[in-house]
Amino acid sequence: MGCQYFDPCDHGADTFTIAIPKLTFGRGCLREAGARAVGLGMTRIGLFTDPGLRDSAYFETVLESLKQAGLDIAVFDEVTIEADDASVERGATFIAEGNFDGVVSIGGGSVIDTAKASMLYGLHPPDEFLDYFAPPLGAGRPVPRSLLPHLACPTTSGTGSECTSISVLRINDMATKFVLANPVLLPQEALIDPACSDTLPAMVVASTGFDLLCHALECYTAKAYTRWDRQDDPLKRPLIQGANPWSDLAARRALEIAGEYLERGVSSADDHEARDNLMWGASLAGMAFGNTGTHLGHALSYGVTHLMHDVTTEGYRVKSPFVPHGISVVISAPAIFRYTAAAAPERHFEAASYLQSDLQDAGVDDAGEALAKRLIELMQKTEVPNGLGGVGFGLADVPALAASSARQVRAIANSPRETNLVDIENIYAAAISY
């Protein structure tokens, strides 16, 4: 590869792998659900959604399309707003008893992630729930080679779950989230209909928009794949493989979209150009991080959702404590990119430029500060919480937050800059308010 960032190094990887589903994008494409499901060989479908979407026009469109295609359908709508082990266990029973030959999911990341994991746990139940998770949390039990065909239909512009082999699940007993990652979880097809974003509340567009922005930014600035150890067994090559030329393409465009349309999409539900682009940006960012892995932004968000208390967010119909995923990620982001820029200044400078930062008087050495300033500006204009202090944390919480997030070992190692526990504490301390 000609790019200096991917120059080979001793014992480093010299191969990267890309996996994405077949995608259909466009207003009204949910009407293709029936034909697409038939094309995937489905005859009896497990249809996943959540209780809030069950009465929506989008769900109705998918259901009607499946019915008109002559398909047999059973609905599972017991998905919680943050996918957790309890809803996956219910979904697994639904799959195990349903005699399905295909799954369709319509909803946000929680619905799609629940559908992915429910197939795994329903068709191949382990002895213990954590058996499929990587050590030290789980037993690292091998995942079977295939599940049922899955057609995913996202209704929010953030998670990109329709494009990834990842399911993020909250483990209720541990009050924290962990990532289940395996190629078998990748949906075969996705229908991305931006009309689904027309009715999203402003704060949902803001949170999911910052999620897509951070997916793209973390991918673009991740450690180069050539800096990870070479893995000669292709089936053992991890999904978190570092920045690569493919993810650069998708992340770059997703950053441009976030820079141009995030503020507009939040401020007006009628701005179809902005909301359509955010929907496309979310899928692009999903295609990037599904083949790269995120780094500190997402790693540090896990401490926030683990330890949050007495906090809710406007626009979400959930009880306290709750911080939306995208907010839990972006509140630490300005402090993170001030920290990581020193290790890859050109990458951070380019990312700042894609996000439409004001770089008139800035050089490459100012990249971290320029990026942080632009993120803070976008956070203020979209009225999201101003740092960790905005969701109830103070300096006294920093050691516990850092200890919790330090468990995200692989994501932390995907940072372009080596990062230890003290570094994480310093980042959190700098992220209390901006």
Which residues form the interface with Fe ion (CB under 5 A)?
211
Residue closer to Fe ion (CB basis): 329 or 430: 329
Q: How many helices (H) and strands (E) does the chain have?
A: 15, 8
Residue closer to Fe ion (CB basis): 113 or 350: 113
CB of 325 to Fe ion, least distance (A): 6
CA distance 213 to 300: 16
CB of 388 to Fe ion, least distance (A): 17
Q: How many CB atoms lie within 10 A of CB 417?
A: 16
CB of 326 to Fe ion, least distance (A): 7
Q: DSSP letters of 365-390?
A: GGHHHHHHHHHHHHHHHTT---SGGG
Which of 169, 176, 26, 207 minimizes the C-alpha distance to 87? Answer: 169
CA distance 167 to 181: 6
258, two tokens: 């976030």
The amino acid that residue 126 corresponds to is: P
CB of 215 to Fe ion, least distance (A): 6
47, two tokens: 């249809």
For residue 183, report the phi and psi dihedrals to the nearest 5 degrees. -55, -30
Residue closer to Fe ion (CB basis): 87 or 110: 110
The amino acid that residue 331 corresponds to is: I
Residue closer to Fe ion (CB basis): 53 or 166: 166
CB of 304 to Fe ion, least distance (A): 12
CB of 298 to Fe ion, least distance (A): 6
Residue closer to Fe ion (CB basis): 61 or 328: 328
Residue closer to Fe ion (CB basis): 50 or 211: 211
Cis peptide bond prior to 136, omega within 30° of 0: yes
Could you give the angle at the alpha carbon of 318 between the alpha carbons of 280 and 290, nearest 5°?
A: 30
Residue closer to Fe ion (CB basis): 32 or 211: 211
CB of 329 to Fe ion, least distance (A): 6
CB of 95 to Fe ion, least distance (A): 25
Residue closer to Fe ion (CB basis): 211 or 248: 211
CB of 295 to Fe ion, least distance (A): 12
Q: How many CB atoms lie within 10 A of CB 321?
A: 15
Residue nearest to Fe ion (CB): 211
C-alpha dist (Å) from residue 142 to 95, 235, 252, 292? 20, 11, 34, 21
For residue 355, report the phi and psi dihedrals to the nearest 5 degrees. -85, 5
- Residue 41 φ/ψ region, left for φ over 0, alpha for ψ in the -120 to 50 degree band, beta for the rest: left
For 45, the enclosing helix (H) or strand (E) is strand 44-48
Residue closer to Fe ion (CB basis): 42 or 300: 300
